[in-house]
Structure 1
Amino acid sequence: MEKITIQSIVEKVLQKEYRNKITFLTGAGISSASGIPTYRGSDGIWIKGTKFHKPEEFGTFEYFLKNPEEVWQFTMFRKKMFLEAKPNKNHEILVELEKELGERFHLITQNIDNLHRRAGSENLFEIHGNNREMKCSNDCKEIIPIPKVISPKNLEEDITSQEIAQLKCKTCGSWMRPNLLWFDEYYNEKTHKKYSALKVAKNTGVLFVLGTSGATNLPMQIARNVLKYGGFVIDINLENNHFTKLLENKKNKLIIRDKSENILPEILKIIKKATY
């Protein structure tokens, strides 16, 4: 029986006329080398929580409606943290992979930190939204950039009255909200590219899962779609996770317990060799 390796999977996929897309699904683990905390790892921010609230309470639309200024202050604190971080080797190699693969490359990320885009990734689906944009909490207007006059904050800094005026919808007067997916919300196409991402998964020959535990619904649906239509799923994470359970007893899978930065250079080398 042939041993399943990254090389054997990639070579098989690139030989196909259909379902030859190579897709990367990334989570917070990709950005940890940039100094951004993960979410559900052993030291993640959703595990440790905040001083006053459990994350599942704080990170909700319901909480925002009651405490919009507090949520915006925290949003701009995180924006400052993201702006001070720099793309790391993981982000850079994914840009190189996109250049090698062209239209066969797709990148789906749960990250809102903008580091993939800053590194140069273009064929990108941000399924949890991003920290660059906002939309009306009453859902009456299009998604727009967060105004530049609203400055990133230190943790103890409040937003100003002038900034609050910029955070009100020009159409209905309701609070604008960050363009993010919160715990009590559902994926959709407009904000989260749900159906576009699932269509990509349907035509994916191999899905590389990098730095995500699969604790939310759409990433798991993406992996299921890849498997359903005959593609491979390669789970590259430090710990067992929800993908591990999904891949039990599946033939089209490979599980690697290592850091993304140790495996991505090998993937790039294999793909460069296979595309020449």
Structure 2
Amino acid sequence: MEELKTILNEIIKDKTGYITFLTGAGISAESGLPTYRSIDGIWIKGTKYHRPEEFGTFKYFSQEPEEVWQYNLFWKKMIAEAQPNAGHLALTEIESLLADRFRLITQNVDGLHQRAGTRKLYEIHGSKQKVRCSNECSEPIDFPENVKFKEYTEDLTPEDIDYLKCTKCGNWLRPNTLWFDESYNEKNYHFDTANHIADHTDILFVIGTSGSTTLPVNIVETVKIRAKWIVIINLENDTYFHSILKGSKKLNSFQESSTVALPQLKIIMEEIINSSIF
């Protein structure tokens, strides 16, 4: 990471734009949460008979709300059992080091970054910790405490169903997450904010994400034009992000896990900030 240290030394001393981190399912996989499309992925485990693009939609939820909630309560159980890992914790320490220059944009909906202590983050795919009325009659609220998490073979109880209805209009509550047939917006998914951050980023770290959704790709494309550097940290070296950045002199790529790379990155930043040169 010597070349990266030189780059960071220059960027940190400049004291101008954001130092931004974009995280995906790969960082949470190291906490035991399966990624979406791998062999043991969350869609396969929870939706045996459906393609993600069919099941993970508002249209399907409108037709089969109990089935979708059954799957989400299984996912909630896995999230509750997971713990932030060394990568999550390193990002929290990096936030303390960088102060106002730190920004974290995450595609993850599990809340592990918050549980690790990170504060300046933007969940562009929403959060499993919140629900909102499917009729959009009110603002998102905390997940109902009385609804118990389940194995994916367990059915909802009548009590679960009651607590998963909007107290204002009586319609089903829905997970406060972005589905495949929905569009990004600022209100629920920080669309404008994420693009603003990209426009003002000096270096972007892309961690544990392959580039399968549009807003993260747009962020990388924007930063590619404006920023000094993009750093990919991923166990795979053939993601879509690698392909769109191929040949770019701004790209640094590390085929490494986030639990190894991010603590090392934290140490580098700490050394730069504490050095007499800085």
TM > 0.5: yes
Q: Which residue in 1 is equivalent to 2:204?
A: 207
Identity of aligned pairs, percent? 47
Q: Which residue in 2 is equivalent to 1:149?
A: 146
Task: Write the distance in 1 (CA, Å) between the matches of 2:38 and 2:152.
Answer: 22
Letter aligned with residue 6 of structure 1: L
Unaligned runs of at least 5 residues, structure 1: none
- From the superposition, tell whether residues 203 and 4 of structure 1 become closer, same or farther in structure 2 (CA, over 3 Å): farther
Q: Which residue in 1 is equivalent to 2:174?
A: 177
Runs of 4+ residues deviating >6 angstroms? none
Task: Write the distance in 2 (CA, Å) between the matches of 1:176 and 1:146.
Answer: 10
Q: How many residues align?
A: 273
Q: Say if 1:100 and 1:272, in contact at 8 Å, map to a contact too.
A: yes
1:106 corresponds to 2:103:
yes
Partner SS for 1:130: strand
Letter aligned with residue 151 of structure 2: N
1:163 corresponds to 2:160:
yes
Superposed CA offset, 1:96-124 (max 9, x none):
11111111111111111111111111111
Task: Write the distance in 2 (CA, Å) between the matches of 1:47 and 1:150.
Answer: 24
Task: Write the distance in 2 (CA, Å) between the matches of 1:45 and 1:83.
Answer: 15
Task: Write the distance in 2 (CA, Å) between the matches of 1:48 and 1:152.
Answer: 16
Letter aligned with residue 191 of structure 1: N
Letter aligned with residue 107 of structure 1: L
Superposed CA offset, 1:38-85 (max 9, x none):
123454334677322122211111110000011111111110110011
1:61 aligned residue (52, 58, 61): 58
1:236 corresponds to 2:242:
no
TM-aligned CA deviation for residue 158 of structure 1: 1.6
- From the superposition, tell whether residues 40 and 156 of structure 1 become closer, same or farther in structure 2 (CA, over 3 Å): closer
1:84 aligned residue (69, 81, 84): 81
Q: Which residue in 2 is equivalent to 1:246?
A: 244
Q: Which residue in 1 is equivalent to 2:37?
A: 40
Q: Say if 1:40 and 1:213, in contact at 8 Å, map to a contact too.
A: no
Q: Which residue in 1 is equivalent to 2:218?
A: 221
- From the superposition, tell whether residues 89 and 69 of structure 1 become closer, same or farther in structure 2 (CA, over 3 Å): same
Letter aligned with residue 37 of structure 2: R
Task: Write the distance in 2 (CA, Å) between the matches of 1:211 and 1:85.
Answer: 17
Q: CA RMSD in A?
A: 1.7
Q: Which residue in 1 is equivalent to 2:70?
A: 73
Q: Say if 1:109 and 1:127, in contact at 8 Å, map to a contact too.
A: yes
Task: Write the distance in 2 (CA, Å) between the matches of 1:47 and 1:220.
Answer: 24
| Range with greater deviation from structure 2 (113-122 or 151-160) | 151-160
Unaligned runs of at least 5 residues, structure 2: none
Q: Say if 1:236 and 1:260, in contact at 8 Å, map to a contact too.
A: yes
Q: Which residue in 2 is equivalent to 1:94?
A: 91
1:134-145 matches, cutoff 5 A: 134-145=131-142
Superposed CA offset, 1:207-238 (max 9, x none):
11110001000111111121222331111112
| Range with greater deviation from structure 2 (155-164 or 81-90) | 155-164
Q: With the length of structure 2 as denominator, give the TM-score of the two structures.
A: 0.93
Q: Say if 2:86 and 2:263, in contact at 8 Å, map to a contact too.
A: no
Q: With the length of structure 1 as denominator, give the TM-score of the two structures.
A: 0.93
Q: Say if 1:4 and 1:254, in contact at 8 Å, map to a contact too.
A: no
TM-aligned CA deviation for residue 202 of structure 1: 1.3
Q: Which residue in 2 is equivalent to 1:274?
A: 272
